[in-house]
């Protein structure tokens, strides 16, 4: 009788501890976003890197970014056609602007003009890259 009571008490304590741990779980415990500024493209053809041309990114500002494209073997790709897309996956909306690749800077570098992040949160920035090496896509995550 006494051991049965102790057992029941132990079960109650365990349930409360588990519930407490569950409720204490931070909202950010969803899988971490890979926010690295260098990514291999989806099919592995390219290694792409991005950086803001003049610091930032700043919320609500029109900014230029520099995209650097190399082959998987590390050779700069200078003859690519680049289109830009993206948006906020959590909000089901796209970019507020239509960024364009406006300059081949050499050494695999491209100027991407007109990037704007109009609200805080998780953004995807997508680059469709086409060159004689093939077509592939690189997607970057940014959290502002």
Nearest residue (CB) to Cu ion, 2 versus 30: 30
Check: CB of residue 47 under 8 Å from CB of residue 74.
yes
Check: CB of residue 105 under 8 Å from CB of residue 66.
yes
Q: How far is the CB of 60 from Cu ion (least distance, A)?
A: 12
Is 88 a residue that touches Cu ion (CB under 5 A)? Answer: yes
Place of tokens 């805080």: 120
Of the candidate residues 14, 119, 120, 143, the single one contacting Cu ion (CB under 5 A): 119
E-state strands within the chain: 38-40, 46-52, 63-71, 81-88, 93-94, 100-106, 109-115, 122-131, 134-143
Of the candidate residues 12, 33, 76, 91, the single one contacting Cu ion (CB under 5 A): 91
Nearest residue (CB) to Cu ion, 48 versus 88: 88
Q: How far is the CB of 48 from Cu ion (least distance, A)?
A: 24
Q: What is the binding site for Cu ion (CB under 5 A)?
A: 88, 91, 119
């Amino acid at each position: 009788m006494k051991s049965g009571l102790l057992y029941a008490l132990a079960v109650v304590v365990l349930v409360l501890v588990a519930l407490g741990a569950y409720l204490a779980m931070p909202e950010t415990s969803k899988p971490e976003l890979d926010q690295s500024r260098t990514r291999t493209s989806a099919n592995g053809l390219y290694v792409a890197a991005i950086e803001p041309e003049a610091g930032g990114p700043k919320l609500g500002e029109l900014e230029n970014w520099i995209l650097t494209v190399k082959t998987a073997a590390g050779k700069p790709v200078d003859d690519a056609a680049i289109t830009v897309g993206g948006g906020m996956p959590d909000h089901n909306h796209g970019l507020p602007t239509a960024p364009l690749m406006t300059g081949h800077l050499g050494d695999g570098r491209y100027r991407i003009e007109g990037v704007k992040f109009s609200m805080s949160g998780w953004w995807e920035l997508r680059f469709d890259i086409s060159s004689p090496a093939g077509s592939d896509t690189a997607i970057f995550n940014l959290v502002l």
